[in-house]
Amino acid sequence: MKIITGNSNVPLAEDISRYLEIPLTQASVRRFADEEIFVEIQENVRGEDVFVIQSTAAPANDNLMELLIMIDALKRASARRITAVIPYYGYARQDRKPGPRTPISAKLVANLITTAGADRVLSVDLHAGQIQGFFDIPTDNLYGAPVMAEDIKARFSLDNLMIVSPDVGGVVRARALAKRLDNAPLAIVDKRRERAGESEVMNIIGNVSGRFCILIDDIVDSAGTLCNAAGALLEAGAKEVTAYCTHGVLSGGAVARVADSSLRELVITDSIPMPENPGKIRKLTIGPLLGEAIRRIADETSVSSLFD
């Protein structure tokens, strides 16, 4: 087995390397003066089972091109099997046509990865389950919920806990986490805008009074929804609100917005590198989770049993 990484998330790749006790394959991933990407694999990979670790977070296009070129370089170096390990799958939110004459970019990216020469894909908390069907190669979708559940159990009493979905679309994800926490009760934030130009009205479905609330989502981008939901929960009588999200995109002023919000803490995984001066934001590592999945793929044993 060989593990190689691009420039998008070197610390996570090093965590995976330490877990597997396998050194990262020596490679040069650099840019020419005109910003073209050049990749040179500096070890023999002929006949090897190679895992390429690369999140496609910002700068999304640069990181995606690095991934494609690394896969092509490995294919031309006669690697036996190439698995694209994409902790955060960029363009995942463009998984359908929201209107006429719009792209399904998540499918286009899947085609690019497949055409480049990947034999398998491993990702974490894909934004939509149907993205697995966009690939014509085997795809494993890991879940951050087990890592989050362990952290929640270590920090909270389950007796007074309430799991909250920040919108109706995230109910399945919230229910899955609640099940891992001894079937903790579930609440939903129903967000709606009554008419154009008016602020959003947030209705809480469920009794959160006196509860320690855990907001759960897969992606936090601007953090506006999470911060507004936290305010609405506290107004409804919640004692405290903490948010757990798998992918910390945190674009624009998201870090400052979280710092100024009524959230006690935002907990994210290291599928995307942590921002500088994170303030209220704390990191959980998914290195061991990805490392164990990589080991099982290489050994051709069950990956789904990781979540039993």
In this predicted model, what pLDDT tens digit does every residue of 75-108 receive, in sequence order?
999 999 999 999 999 999 999 998 999 999 999 9
Residue 193 is assigned to a ligand binding site: yes
pLDDT in tens, 19-42: 999 999 999 999 999 999 999 999
Q: Which of the pair, 306 or 17, is modelled with greater confidence?
A: 17
pLDDT band (50, 70, 90) for residue 113: very high
Most confident segment among 9-13, 191-195, 223-227: 9-13
Enumerate the H helices of the chain as residue ranges: 10-20, 60-76, 105-116, 145-155, 171-180, 224-235, 254-260, 287-299
**Mean pLDDT, all residues of the chain:** 93
On whether 123 is known to bind a ligand per the annotation, the reply is no
167 in a labelled binding site: yes
- N- to C-terminal Cα distance for the chain? 26
Give mean pLDDT, residues 199-228.
89
**The pTM is what?**
0.93
Residue 168: the pLDDT is 86
Span 48-75, average pLDDT: 97
Q: From the CA atom positions of the chain, what is the Rg in Å?
A: 20
Domains located in the chain, CATH noted: 2-142 (3.40.50.2020), 145-284 (3.40.50.2020)
Res. 193: pLDDT tops 80: no
The catalytically annotated residue of 153, 179, 191, 239 is: 191
Complete DSSP assignment for 246-308: EEE---TTHHHHHHHSS-SEEEEETTSPPPSS-TTEEEE--HHHHHHHHHHHHHT--SGGGG-
Q: Per the annotation, does 35 bind a ligand?
A: yes
83 annotated as belonging to a binding site for a ligand:
no
Active site residue 191: yes
Q: How confident is the model at residue 293 (pLDDT cuts 50, 70, 90)?
A: very high
Name the token pair of 167.
Answer: 């919108």
The amino acid at 83: T
> Residue 203: its pLDDT value, please?
87
Give the model confidence (pLDDT) of 230-287 as tens digits: 999 999 999 999 999 999 999 989 999 999 999 999 999 999 999 888 889 999 999 9
Give residue 201's pLDDT: 59
Evaluate if residue 195 carries a pLDDT over 60: no
Is 95 known to sit in a ligand binding site? no
Q: 9-13, 169-173, 241-245: which has the minimum mean pLDDT?
A: 169-173
Place 308 in a pLDDT band, splitting at 50, 70 and 90: low
Report which of residues 48 and 169 the model is more confident about. 48
- pLDDT recorded at residue 199: 45
Kindly tell me if the per-residue pLDDT of 135 is higher than 50: yes
**Portion of the chain with pLDDT greater than 90, in percent:** 86
**Separation of alpha carbons 187 and 195, rounded Å:** 25
- What is the pLDDT, as a whole number, of residue 169? 84
- pLDDT at residue 197, as a whole number: 47
User: Is 62 within any annotated ligand binding site?
Assistant: no
217 is in an annotated binding site: yes
